[in-house]
Structure 1
Amino acid sequence: MNIALGTIPFGTTVGEDDSFAILDRFFEAGGTMLDTANNYPFWVEGRSGDESELTVGAWLAARGNRDEVFLSTKVGARPTIPGDTTLDSAEGLSAPVVARAVEGSLRRLRTDYIDVYWSHIEDRSVPLDETLGAFDELARQGRIRSAGASNVSAWRLERARSLSVSRGWLPYTYVQLRHTYLRPRPLTRPVESGHVLATDDMLDYVNAEPDLTLWAYNTLMAGSYTRPDRPIPEIYDHPGTARRLAVLHEVSSELGATPNQVVLAWLIADGYVPIVGVSTMAQLDEAIGAADVKLDDELRTRLGAPC
């Protein structure tokens, strides 16, 4: 199942027992990819940012299935000032921070290696070669098996990958960005601090690079495709959105699937890994059902035509 389970609320708004139940169901359905970070959810008052990793680590230890899970976590966006709920004091991506942060993640996750380790946000105060060299050192130590860049621009990703290749270092082979079926207005930015949208240039770059995989977050826009109480974000406010939504609902009806499932199936068909954050079993079951939704060439063409 080419879907990653987002774990932001685990250990906070979703308690440990419910988190374990969701993780069990995902794993039993064939899901193996888990996405967390060393700062989830620091922006919630009274939270440290340890909670998600701690909960995932407790589940892995309880189930004894670490080697059957593809584990993803991140460094760079953890506040250095206790109680800071912004990114103003983010730890950044210097070599000492990367070396120290990975130890904390490994401890909380109760593992001795991470399958893909992400630079969470850009840190242009640190030279790229310092960050990339630190990631390569972690790979040589066996602490990480692959590297990814989250919330990065296409030109910076290309520069980083080229630099790693020239030095013989571990390159970024994953990129994580905000991406969904709807397309934003050009030159718009999400209101959420730190979020970076997948641009047409980035999607073109990913599609041209066989060793590069996009993990997409905010794929279902927190329920906006199906819940009247969750309005479509303002960045998608343009005439093309209405046309695109109309086709989405037509295809969903024809397939007997939900709009959410078609969105996920559309992303999967493009070779991307959608990250799905859930807080209930019903939400998880809907997402799992997307793996059985098949889009033929005609349906993909129809879904892709409106703009």
Structure 2
Amino acid sequence: MAIPQRTVVLGTLPFGTTVDEATSFAILDRFAELGGTVVDTANNYAYWLDGATGDESEATVGRWLAARGNRDSLLLSTKCGARPRPGTEEWEGLAEKTVKTALDGSLARLGTDRVDVFWAHVEDRTVPLEETVGALADLAEEGKAVELGASNHAVWRVERARALAGDRPRFAHLQHRHSYLVPRFDKPLPSTAHVHVTHEHLDYARTEQLPVWAYSALLSGGYTRPEIAVPEAYDHPGTPPRLAALAETARELGATVNQVVLAWLLGGDVRVLPIVGASRVEQIEEVMGALDLVLAPEQRRRLDEAGA
């Protein structure tokens, strides 16, 4: 089963923690009803909350898959590397044993024999890149991971990893923070683990024809919810003109601002898969409506040039 060329990915980070199981199931049900097929999780969501371990998101998705019996109609994406080691604040990292043990744990929680994309969630420069590349390739060759991805990695590390893999399975997907608003890079992003897409990432993805999975695509509600401030990294003179262009385009199309953001991400010359989380069913209905929204060339140009 191939990932659709134009699609929205359901991010499940809060499932089983801040979004209870019944609501999580309802969101997943509606996503599937509306044609959604790609579900993204990780082995550390959301360990940083009081009482959480990092198992919660995968375990919730796994129980939903078991209850619905629909594993083969969906594509599953999960990650390793950023789960804390037991009793410490240190991330597990990307050593060979850790990577392989992590995927076995994810498969058990998800109740499946393979994931469709398995990600190195964050870089681990304490481990030789050859070791990580080899471990991931082993898992792909064993059929436990259909494809591999690099999340929050520098471009040069991705290129080196792909070269080291040679003819073996290698990174075929990139995942970074990416949205319509452009940050200033002298201010921190909301999480120190976030790595924002750069022109270099996009150039690399375009040239190598790699899809970019864009997390925080809607800035956690920052475009539309007054109580959620736009992160400090986006506080610069280029932001107000871009917000104005979004609002103008949304009025013209009779769409929401969030839908215009997603349409902009989906319609560029780099294949982008926006990852969008939800805590209510109505949010998924809004998000999936963006798949039917196509920007006219002049609207695209206006959005691209705003704040430049």
Same fold by TM-score greater than 0.5: yes
1:261 corresponds to:
259
Please give the secondary structure, in 2, of the residue aligned with 1:147: strand
Amino acid at match of 1:278: A
1:303 corresponds to:
303
Over residues 253-281 of structure 1, what are the superposed CA-to-partner deviations in whole Å (9 max), with x where a residue is unaligned?
A: 00000110000111111220000000001
For residues 202 and 79 of structure 1, what CA distance do their matches in structure 2 show?
27
Compute the displacement of 1:193 (Å). Answer: 2.5
2:201 corresponds to:
202
Confirm or deny that 1:66 pairs with 2:67.
no
For residues 192 and 224 of structure 2, what CA distance do their matches in structure 1 show?
25
1:283 corresponds to:
283
CA contact (8 A) 1:189 1:197 kept: no
1:230 corresponds to:
228
Confirm or deny that 1:130 pairs with 2:135.
no
For residues 191 and 5 of structure 1, what CA distance do their matches in structure 2 show?
21
CA contact (8 A) 2:11 2:276 kept: yes
CA contact (8 A) 1:220 1:263 kept: yes
Please give the secondary structure, in 1, of the residue aligned with 2:39: strand
Amino acid at match of 1:300: R
Matches within 5 A, 1:173-188: 173-188=172-187
Amino acid at match of 1:294: V
For residues 80 and 105 of structure 1, what CA distance do their matches in structure 2 show?
15
Matches within 5 A, 1:10-29: 10-29=15-34
For residues 191 and 266 of structure 1, what CA distance do their matches in structure 2 show?
23
For residues 107 and 130 of structure 2, what CA distance do their matches in structure 1 show?
24
CA contact (8 A) 1:219 1:275 kept: yes
> Structure 1: which 5+ runs fail to align?
none
> Structure 2: which 5+ runs fail to align?
1-5
Amino acid at match of 2:265: L
Amino acid at match of 2:285: D
Compute the displacement of 1:296 (Å). Answer: 2.3
Figure out how many residues of one structure are paired with residues of the other and give that number: 300
CA distance 1:187–1:159, change in 2 (3 Å): farther
Over residues 18-72 of structure 1, what are the superposed CA-to-partner deviations in whole Å (9 max), with x where a residue is unaligned?
A: 1111101000100000000001000101100000000000111111111111100
CA RMSD of aligned residues (A): 1.1
CA contact (8 A) 1:132 1:169 kept: no
Matches within 5 A, 1:80-119: 80-82=85-87, 88-119=89-120
> Alignment identity in percent?
53
Please give the secondary structure, in 1, of the residue aligned with 2:238: helix
For residues 190 and 8 of structure 2, what CA distance do their matches in structure 1 show?
26
| TM-score calculated relative to the size of structure 1 | 0.95
Compute the displacement of 1:187 (Å). Answer: 4.0
Of 209, 214, 223, the match for 2:212 = 214
CA contact (8 A) 1:6 1:275 kept: yes
